[in-house]
A = this chain, B = another copy of it.
Amino acid sequence: MLENKSRTEISELGEFGLIDHLTKNIRLHHASTEKGAGDDAAVLDHSGRKTIVTTDLLTEGIHFDLAYVPLRHLGYKSVIVNLSDVYAMNATPTQITVSIAFSNRFSLEAIEELYSGMLLACDKYKVDLAGGDTTSSQHGLVISITALGTAAADEIAYRDGAAEGELICVSGDLGAAYMGLQILEREKQVYLENPAMQPDLQGKDYILERQLKPEARGDVLELLRALEVKPTSMIDISDGLASEILHIATRSGLGCKLFEEKIPIDPMTYESAREFNLDPTVCALSGGEDYELLFTIAQKDYEKVKNQPDISVIGHMTAKDEGCYLISKSGQVHQITAQGWDAFLKKKE
């Protein structure tokens, strides 16, 4: 991808030249960003409201594979995953800081591509890139992003706020990003075996986009406010529905019951899972990277959300001693177990 373009060595600019080059196009959106990139630290004014802070670290070969992820998409997604964490507090993201480390395998043009995707996400979500660090690594690319946000004290939704009997809701649909990844992995293998083969991505746009260019669901928070529904607990789905609902249940000291037939799965996800001999429900439960919002609401709010196409009620919270279960379409009862993070089991240095 990088070979066909002109290549400027980073060493021609030096650190400060690179920072100036990368930050000169930053547009600020928030009055609260009093001072952005360019000093020892950024200065923010969140007076009278709570400040939210979250951070994510992405490393090459573990979190992304540059064989099939364009750098611009990677930049976009790396911002989105952080904004999603801020939204999952029922808060509004306002600033990010971006630190990147990269080896001299990367040219200036490559880093610009990465950065352009980050700035695109900042513009779309009206978030200010307020600072960061740009440095080198011995091996590959590392991206660390910290996002700040703001919320009124009584708006914040924690993971531990659910109560027994409350309804479990999820936005959008699940499992698509995971199936997008399966397609990309398959085509990478085909390419490695025969570089002359063109990748077969035909008709898979939606699930590929869900993997390569996910969005963060700030729109769902706006919808809930418009509906006058206050989520009692909330989390974003990065590791898969199963792992996330267990977080809410454990933290809230409760059990939960999910209904398989209620879990929203897009037809393309469903068909692709079948193609790969995968159970679509398992993909939704354990796939992850959906960046949808999982939240609980009071039973009285059911009428407000029931006809919203972007919100699915998929179950309810139960007493702790009832455990956490999925009721299958055939009525069978399965215990829910987390299958989140297994990077350490899969990857060996």
Contact = CB atoms under 8 A, between A and B. Distances in A.
A57 B9 CA distance: 21
A44 B60 CA distance: 31
A8 interface: no
Nearest to A144: B144
Contacts of A61: 137-139
Interface residues of A, number: 82
A56 interface: yes
Contacts of A104: 344, 347-349
A252 interface: no
Given A46-B51, A56-B133, 20 more contacts: A16-B341, A34-B50, A38-B159, A39-B159, A40-B86, A42-B53, A42-B54, A43-B89, A47-B48, A55-B132, A59-B138, A60-B138, A61-B137, A62-B135, A97-B146, A101-B142, A103-B349, A105-B349, A138-B140, A139-B139
Interface of A: 9-11, 14-16, 34-35, 38-63, 85-86, 88-89, 91, 95, 97, 99-101, 103-105, 130-133, 135-140, 142, 144, 146-149, 151, 153, 156, 158-159, 234-236, 251, 338, 340-345, 347-349
